Structure 1
Amino acid sequence: MKKVYVVRHCEAAGQASEAPLTDRGVRQAEELAAFFADVKIDRIISSPFLRAVQSIEPAAEQKSIEIESDHRLSERILSTRDLPDWLEKLKAAFDNLDLRFDGGESSREAMNRAVSVMGDIHQHGAEDTIIVTHGNLMSLLLKHYQPDFGFEQWKNLSNPDVYLLNIDDQEVSLERLWKS
C-alpha cells in the first residue's frame, strides 16, 4: 500500500509562478510541518512554483528530505487571455473536461498531467509521498479518483489543504485530512 499526501500550497501573495507566501502563508507552512511531524514520509515532490516550494520547505527541512521539483504539478492554465468571467469558465471546465479556452489546457489534459505523476509514484520504491500542487490541479487529480469531485469541492478547498490517497494495487481511496 502506498500513501500519497496531496497538498495545496499555503496562502500566497499572487498567482504568478514567482509569487511568495504571505506572512500568514509562512505561518501556515510551519503548521503544515507540525501536521507532518509524526507522519512517515519517504519522498516530497512539488510544483516548481515558489509558493508550493515555500509551503513544504519547513516539513522537508524537519524530515531532512530533498524537495523534488516536477513541472507536471504546476497550476493548470485556464487561458492565456484575461477572463473577467473566469469563475464561470472554470465551472464549465469541470462540467466539460474537454473544454479549452485560448492558450489554456483542458481539464482532461491537466488531469492527465497530474495522473502521470501518480503513475511515476506508483512505480517508485517510496511508500509515503507528499506532492505539493495548486487548487485547480489538485481538484482535477482528486476528480480522477472520485468523479463527483467538482467545482463546489474546489471552492471549498483551503490554503493549505491536505488529502490522503491510499493506493492498493488498482484501488484508490481518498480522505481529506486538513481541518482548516
Structure 2
Amino acid sequence: MPKHIYIVRHSKAEGQAPEAELTELGKQQSEALVNFFSERKIDRFVSSPFIRAVGTIKPLSDARNLPIDIDPRLAERMLSTTHMPDWKEKLKDTFDDVDLKFEGGESTREASTRAVAVIEEILEGDSENTVIVSHGGIIPLLINHYSRDEGFDRWRGLTNPDVYLLTAENGETTVERIWDQA
C-alpha cells in the first residue's frame, strides 16, 4: 500500500521570525488549501511550530477535524545568527558544500538530517496520507534527499504556499510538485 506525504510550504507571512503571522493574502491562500485538498484523503497533520506554518494548515485541519502535531524538526533552517547581506550566495554555497556552516547556523547536512527523520518516522508509522508543513529552507532539502533534485534551484522556484507529493511504495520514493496555483 503506498504512503503519501504532502509537503506544504507555508502561505505568505509577515516576516521570517517564528512568531510571524500570515498576511491577509496568506490567510486566503490557507483557505485555498482546503479546496485544493478537498478530494484527497488525509490521516494526519504535522507542522513546524512556527506560527505561519500552523496558521497555513489550521483551516484544513479544522475542516477535517484532525489535530495538528507540532514537530520542531520541521522548523525553518537557521543559516546564520549574524547579518549577511550576501545571504543568497551563502545559501547557494551550503547546497554545494553540505557541511558548510555559518556562525550560529545549521549546515545543509544538519538541517536535512532532522527533517528527513520526520519523513522516515511518518513512513514507518500507520498513517497512509500525511500533510506536513514546513519552510523554504527545509523543503528543498527534503526533496533533494528523496529525488536528488537540484536543491538551490528548487529553493529559488518555491512559492508561498507550495505543495509537493512524496509517494513511497515498495522501497521506492517519488516526489512531484502538485501545486498549480502559482
Shorter-chain TM-score above 0.5: yes
Q: Which stretches of structure 1, 4 residues or more, deviate above 4 A after TM superposition?
A: none
RMSD: 0.7
Alignment partners' CA distance in 2, 1:74 and 1:17? 8
Letter in 2 for 1:155: R
- What TM-score results when the alignment is normalised by the length of structure 2? 0.97
Give, as a single letter, the amino acid of the residue that structure 1 aligns with 2:165: L
Give secondary structure in 1 for the equivalent of 2:137. Answer: helix
Give the equivalent residue in structure 2 for 1:130.
131
Aligned to 2:100, the other structure's residue is in SS state coil
How many residue pairs get aligned? The number is 180
> Does the 8 Å contact 2:143/2:149 carry over to 1?
no
Letter of the aligned partner of 1:142 in structure 2?
I
- How far has the Cα of 1:169 moved from its partner? 3.5
* 2:163 paired residue number: 162
Query: 1:73 maps to what in 2?
Result: 74
Which digits, 9 at most, give the CA deviation of each residue in 1:74-107, with x for residues without a partner? 0000011111110000011111111100011100
CA apart distance, 1:148: 2.9
* Partners of 2:32 and 2:68 in 1: CA distance: 18
TM-score normalised over the length of structure 1 = 0.98
What is aligned with 1:36?
Answer: 37
What amino acid is the match of 1:151?
Answer: F
Quote the Cα distance in structure 2 between the aligned partners of 1:22 and 1:152.
Answer: 26
Mean Cα displacement is larger for which, 165-174 or 55-64? 165-174
The Cα of 1:136 is off from its aligned counterpart by 1.2
Contact 1:111/1:137 (8 A) holds in 2: yes
Deviation at 1:177, TM superposition (A): 0.3
